[in-house]
Structure 1
């Protein structure tokens, strides 16, 4: 039975709400309301500021129509590569120049509009400033009427470029206030911290970048997401699947409870002796109240010319008792973190989970599942 006619209980959809589902992955009602507010502020202030620049009069528009489309991208999908500052400013401005050029070069307006938009796409692609409203900017330069025609080659600068710069500046300020990441900074690729040619541990197994590239070729689709963000998304999917498979194990069940610690006044020599005597790589440092202040290892003690533990210690990586143990995989495989301290809400030290602890736990859990008579594999 088609999904549109099947009973709601069988499709998992609530009748009457299908039209209100977001069409973009990750979108929420809150995000859309923030986008609406951002567009209201951005477009209104852009018009007011440009009105102050240009003054009253019909000689040139205060704000051009493509800014409305730019606002949709900038405020509704700020992580999109098409919504970043350079595509907004460069895409609109370059496309407007292309439109003016086509209008002056090609006398037939029908041919001019086709050539103008086509060349605008090419110009934006070459300059890495692809921005969908840029096509509208080129078209506005071609059919904008006497005011645009009389402005000539000034039109791409005033008001198109000025509109774009003001809108981007307002977007940056608005996203900062609303605590959203803009301009969007793609996640950095994992690096090998040991100075060798091996791939970093998190990407040594599982899918590789070339696998993603091959999948994109097979799909024959262009996706509106940064390439590194796509890698990060797929890695998070893998981690979520791992957490679901081993979600019954918590940090409280995995951690070592007899924790070796040292006080802030313990001294670097005492810290070095404890690390060597207990054959550990991370030593929690506690304050006078027994609360976690940081951690120290042999590396910190060797590299830092310090007078006390307060100067030598690093910020501790922590987890809670009921946190899934598998969620620690990204941290304990980053090439820098050797142990995570499990703490109470008041930062009292409850236990420690090392890389060895987590590896042994996951290996045992996988073996138990493999030989569980209830699983299909065992059958």
Structure 2
């Protein structure tokens, strides 16, 4: 029996040249190149404008190039966050200056400086690989660095780092990238009880991730929370791959009860109770979805429901039905509204609809206990 082979994996002699970063696309690499070009150039220009040009002080120190690689090529890395860049470079340069001050032999001083830099960055939670280069620069920088002494870690190292991070923040915001990398909050129990959230009661838990990391006995360049989130997404994608033939269009309710945004709260409350539903789509005069409302939102005192609507969860008819699992198990969302490209309402999938679909996918047991009326 032959098993399918991923088209991304070529002959072994070419694997050396394959991308080593998961999720690395051509677009992401081009954005990284543009970001580094602008940031490094502007960092030098701004530093020169502030302190002038001349041999008395380098406009930009070499470790900034390595920092730019992390900042723009892998902005989600824990090693590329603002404190890692600013703190890592500054503290490491300070360790290099201290080593050079007390140790006259430059070879020994470089080893001690880098060693101290790693230890200091680890204890201050700002591990940053270019910090090793900052420590070396502080030791081997020659008379210019020696002349600045203990000011060198702050000017130009800290100054360069702050400017680089500031430009990185602006660039990532304009390019709509998540930086500083914010890890989504873990699932929480919205009912304020001591039970675990429903989304994490089955499957792996945090202690399983810790045990796996301990068993592998290696350090990985990924935040622990990101690792858990990645594994959860792997589980979901595997389920979709195995049962992805069921789409949202297959299980959605098509006769959707909706209400206009100019309606009064009493009208919305009447529809929710009459039809025994928990989510009521709200549409504008053109029939496009603008929000959703439930009894919780109606507890607010407003003249029209347009001021109390919440942001709806939406999907497209062709989306796999199982892709709605994370949304409908977050403890807050009771229904996903199915819309077209113009945001016109096509259907609605409730937690009950999805549960019924998942139940049909479960293996049938001959000795299953019959339902009792």
TM-score by length of 2: 0.91
Q: Indicate yes or no: 2:352 matched with 1:356.
A: yes
Q: Indicate yes or no: 2:337 matched with 1:345.
A: no
Decide whether aligned partners of structure 1 residues 37 and 16 sit closer, same or farther in structure 2, where only a CA change above 3 A counts: farther
Write out per-residue CA displacement over residues 146-166 of structure 1, whole angstroms, 9 at most, x where no aligned residue. 111111111111111111111
Q: What residue number does 2:371 align with?
A: none
Residue 229 of structure 2, aligned match among 228, 232, 254: 232
Q: Indicate yes or no: 2:93 matched with 1:96.
A: yes
Q: What residue number does 1:197 align with?
A: 194
Decide whether aligned partners of structure 1 residues 18 and 354 sit closer, same or farther in structure 2, where only a CA change above 3 A counts: same
Q: What residue number does 2:272 align with?
A: 275
Q: What residue number does 1:365 align with?
A: 361
Residues 9-18 or 64-73, more deviating? 9-18
Q: What residue number does 2:370 align with?
A: none
Equivalents in 2 of 1:334, 1:54: separation in Å? 53
Residue 255 of structure 2, aligned match among 250, 253, 258: 258
Residue 313 of structure 1, aligned match among 309, 313, 322: 309
Write out per-residue CA displacement over residues 41-84 of structure 1, whole angstroms, 9 at most, x where no aligned residue. 12222222222233232222222111111111111111111111
Contact 1:70–1:133 (CA<8 Å) still a contact in 2?
Answer: yes
Residue 173 of structure 2, aligned match among 170, 173, 176: 176
Equivalents in 2 of 1:10, 1:74: separation in Å? 30
Contact 2:9–2:15 (CA<8 Å) still a contact in 1?
Answer: no
Equivalents in 2 of 1:313, 1:86: separation in Å? 38
1:280 Cα deviation from its structure 2 partner: 1.3
Q: Indicate yes or no: 2:158 matched with 1:161.
A: yes
Decide whether aligned partners of structure 1 residues 294 and 190 sit closer, same or farther in structure 2, where only a CA change above 3 A counts: same
Matches within 5 A, 1:65-144: 65-144=62-141
Secondary structure in structure 1 of the residue aligned to 2:362: helix
Q: What residue number does 2:324 align with?
A: 328
Q: Indicate yes or no: 2:181 matched with 1:213.
A: no
Equivalents in 2 of 1:291, 1:113: separation in Å? 65
Equivalents in 2 of 1:285, 1:41: separation in Å? 45
Equivalents in 1 of 2:85, 2:6: separation in Å? 44
Contact 1:246–1:362 (CA<8 Å) still a contact in 2?
Answer: no
Secondary structure in structure 1 of the residue aligned to 2:23: coil
Secondary structure in structure 1 of the residue aligned to 2:311: coil
1:135 Cα deviation from its structure 2 partner: 1.1
Paired residue total: 362
Q: What residue number does 2:243 align with?
A: 246
- The RMSD of aligned alpha carbons is 2.2
Equivalents in 1 of 2:8, 2:349: separation in Å? 43
Write out per-residue CA displacement over residues 320-348 of structure 1, whole angstroms, 9 at most, x where no aligned residue. 22111111111111111101122233333
Residue 59 of structure 1, aligned match among 42, 56, 61: 56
Structure 1, unpaired ranges of 5+: 1-7, 372-379
Equivalents in 2 of 1:10, 1:247: separation in Å? 21
Residues 94-103 or 289-298, more deviating? 289-298
Decide whether aligned partners of structure 1 residues 344 and 30 sit closer, same or farther in structure 2, where only a CA change above 3 A counts: closer
Decide whether aligned partners of structure 1 residues 9 and 223 sit closer, same or farther in structure 2, where only a CA change above 3 A counts: closer
Secondary structure in structure 2 of the residue aligned to 1:13: coil
Contact 2:70–2:80 (CA<8 Å) still a contact in 1?
Answer: yes
Q: What residue number does 1:300 align with?
A: 297
Equivalents in 2 of 1:284, 1:11: separation in Å? 43
Q: What residue number does 1:374 align with?
A: none
1:127 Cα deviation from its structure 2 partner: 0.8
Contact 1:282–1:339 (CA<8 Å) still a contact in 2?
Answer: yes
